[in-house]
Amino acid sequence: MMEREVLHKDYRSGTIAAIGRIIERRRQERGSNFLDLLRKARLHYGGAPYDMGAIFLGRITARLARSPRPPLRAV
């Protein structure tokens, strides 16, 4: 799993600000992982239609290790 920064560019002032993070949970490449993550970030963080184009993904901030599943309890 990888964690990416979600960035917002203000075109009026030219500044770029980090507004959140998004986690990629896919282990393998399945078509267009990057574009799917970008679409998810834009839907989650973009409030207005003009915000959609100003949101983009930054660098990978962390590679997260998967925690092992706890053992099943017998009932």
* Beta-ladder partners of 21: 5
b (16+ CB within 10 A) / e for 13-51: eeeeeeeeebebeeeeeeeeeeeebbeebbeebbeeeee
User: What pLDDT, on a 0 to 100 scale, did the predictor assign at position 67?
Assistant: 58
CA distance 51 to 6: 13
**pTM score, two decimals?**
0.68
User: What pLDDT, on a 0 to 100 scale, did the predictor assign at position 11?
Assistant: 84
Mean pLDDT of successive 10-residue segments in the chain (75 residues)? 85 88 77 84 83 83 62 61
